[in-house]
Structure 1
């Protein structure tokens, strides 16, 4: 009798597991958020929402948009939610009727300039473009404190950055520089004469840490992670100002999973979601 009871218990557990698996709704996220960070976000979100499976396509902003555009042209968009690092992308998507508005309850805690008043997108993550440098080779008075230090002839061939066609964050940075008095597009014309290395934001940070480069445009969270692991790298907030890059999230208008998508968007800007970001960079 005891064996029968145990067997029935196992069957019931397996049955409920199967039912849970069958009823779980799947939403697909297209994002440029780094893989290790978004994997942890997925894990935390699914633990809080066991009835939703979050599938992820992760690549650079331009590749994400290229995939979305190709699917749009084919009439088969697979994404439910998009999360990349550029507000202008969302204005374009909104204009093309590719976003579905949602008034997220958690938005009341966000500064108004970080989300669309009609609910088409929300700044769910804030990253900063800062001036990174190698702490082994640049010390004391040689530590940079200005974006113009990247233009110093002494550092020719020893500086670097990503590029607007590779990084949404650097696209925002380029626009910010181009429209800022005292910097302008002329800054990048001078920067080009330094023969700067071009790589991903992660690649530039690694090159600085190894000493291949001495300084460059780098995202703050990448440097913090490397510094914590003992790499000889740090960053400064340039006296002209760093570039803040809010990374928005929005729901694709063609989604068949609107309710589940709303829950993920709301989670991303909630206290719990933001805490998870703070833990992971």
Structure 2
């Protein structure tokens, strides 16, 4: 279809210039204003992330609520029920939760997100959520208390080790939810693995921060924990070391998503793209995370070892999520 205009060449040029200027002004305005993020990222790291992001987007004013994934979702579900969700963006450890929200129509698709140099299988195929980093779960030990450390998941079943072992709970931590569900669905482990740990005296707290503290302080000899916390602590001189078990590690990718009820969609899209950008990925490495983007080296805190991932289907874990939490609570308390 052809459009005709009665404007003269000069008038048309002026009109086009005004249109471009208006578009630029709209774009600048769109990447400004308040942006509310609900996250399970530790507060100190979130503060650093906001500060770095604001170097590129100084006019976006971020406010965030931070807690464990379960408490974040409890708050968000209460807001859904009240018809007043406050968050624009969700940044949590748990793809299982993201799958559930997608199925409920709670996430806004962003198929235009810039996923350059990242594995497309790490993101939702329809663009409802995007992985931002790789966080594995293995185990740590106190180097003052342990002279000959375990090297495998099966080693942890030894009563002498299990009786001095702590772990995060899937009732609080998204990464723990993925870990427990994955192990419970892996041949050679299953729920028998956790039943044996419980029988031999292993305990569960809440989040990974509590596990780090218990092991670093010597209250526990071993802790099942996400990788970057003990690796960062060891680099700062804490008596703790992290083990990538022989059988492999479970993993989460801390996905980011825009809620379908978001009030500042343009700023939310800018935040998602920054997470996936080279700048954002290099920042994640500075914080001690494994990057997703090709061509970016892993953190110096990580040993030069091959990392094997034990995988499970997020849809299956979503289907089993309540059962996983209940069975774990029956074994270790709620």
TM-score, structure 2 as length reference? 0.75
Match among 116, 139, 146 for residue 131 of structure 1 = 139
* CA deviation map 1:228-264 (0-9, x unaligned): 2211110111011011111111000011211111000
Which residue of 2 is the match for residue 274 of structure 1? Answer: 281
C-alpha distance in structure 1 between counterparts of 2:185 and 2:120, whole Å: 22
8 Å Cα contact 1:159/1:194 also seen in 2: no
8 Å Cα contact 1:100/1:251 also seen in 2: yes
C-alpha distance in structure 2 between counterparts of 1:250 and 1:112, whole Å: 15
C-alpha distance in structure 1 between counterparts of 2:221 and 2:58, whole Å: 46
- Which aligned runs of 4 or more in structure 1 are off by greater than 4 angstroms? none
Which residue of 1 is the match for residue 70 of structure 2? Answer: 62
Report how far residue 156 of structure 1 moved: 4.2
8 Å Cα contact 1:130/1:218 also seen in 2: yes
8 Å Cα contact 1:204/1:218 also seen in 2: yes
8 Å Cα contact 2:175/2:252 also seen in 1: yes
8 Å Cα contact 1:128/1:219 also seen in 2: yes
Structure 2 residues without counterparts, runs of 5 or longer = 1-27, 289-334
Helix, strand or coil at the partner of 2:84: coil
Helix, strand or coil at the partner of 2:163: coil
> In the alignment, does 2:178 pair up with 1:175?
no
Which residue of 1 is the match for residue 114 of structure 2? Answer: 106
> In the alignment, does 2:61 pair up with 1:53?
yes
Report how far residue 96 of structure 1 moved: 0.8
Helix, strand or coil at the partner of 2:170: coil
8 Å Cα contact 1:104/1:266 also seen in 2: no
Report how far residue 144 of structure 1 moved: 0.8
Structure 1 residues without counterparts, runs of 5 or longer = 1-19
More strand by share: 1
8 Å Cα contact 2:141/2:242 also seen in 1: yes
Which residue of 2 is the match for residue 158 of structure 1? Answer: 164
- CA shift in 2, pair 1:156/1:114, >3 Å: closer
Larger deviation: 154-163 or 253-262? 154-163
Which residue of 2 is the match for residue 72 of structure 1? Answer: 80
C-alpha distance in structure 2 between counterparts of 1:52 and 1:210, whole Å: 39
Helix, strand or coil at the partner of 2:139: strand
Match among 97, 103, 107 for residue 89 of structure 1 = 97
C-alpha distance in structure 1 between counterparts of 2:112 and 2:40, whole Å: 22
Which residue of 2 is the match for residue 212 of structure 1? Answer: 219
